[in-house]
């Protein structure tokens, strides 16, 4: 393998690690998110135990902290020249995804209430960012 191929392989591994690690964290948070979203949608958040609500908030906080770590680690990856544009767009989309997650946590208040507009907006922003992440990964795959 020449240096260009090695650089591409190392970058490809960094992209895979970012996505794989993110998916693992999402899987862990999903079992907490689904009941929270259902309680919010059904207006039954007050029926959720304080312990479950606080645990959910902490799981989300821990997950988002991990996303920040994944992003910082990915930013150190060196993209081959032909992938630099898509790399920067991927970083931007992932940053927006993490911000959407931060916004979701911010929408959850300590008194076990949720800012419904902020909650919905954060979900929408995460979805949009996820679509962009997928798009840029596809672009990177095509070019690589």
DSSP notation for 88-104:
HHHHHHHHHHHHHHHHH
Range 53-59 average pLDDT: 96
% of the chain beyond a pLDDT of 90: 93
- CA contacts within 13 A on the Cβ side of 143: 18
Range 101-116 average pLDDT: 96
Confidence label for 111 from pLDDT (cuts 50, 70 and 90)? very high
| Calculated CA dihedral for residues 116, 122, 127, 131, nearest 10 degrees | 160
Range 50-70 average pLDDT: 97
pLDDT for 5 beyond 80: yes
Which among 138, 25, 140, 11 has a CA at the least distance from the CA of 77?
11
pLDDT for 60 beyond 90: yes
């Amino acid at each position: 393998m020449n240096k260009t191929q090695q650089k591409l392989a190392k970058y490809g591994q960094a992209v895979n690690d970012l996505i794989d690690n993110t998916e693992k964290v999402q899987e862990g948070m999903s079992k907490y998110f689904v009941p929270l979203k259902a309680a919010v949608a059904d207006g039954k958040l007050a029926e959720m135990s304080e312990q479950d609500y606080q645990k959910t908030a902490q799981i989300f906080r821990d997950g988002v902290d991990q996303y920040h770590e994944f992003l910082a680690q990915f930013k150190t990856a060196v993209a081959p020249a032909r992938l630099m544009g898509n790399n920067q767009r991927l970083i931007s989309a992932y940053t927006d995804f993490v911000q959407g997650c931060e916004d979701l946590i911010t929408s959850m208040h300590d008194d076990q209430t949720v800012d419904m507009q902020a909650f919905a907006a954060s979900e929408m922003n995460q979805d949009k960012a996820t679509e962009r992440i997928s798009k840029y990964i596809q672009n990177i795959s095509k070019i690589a």
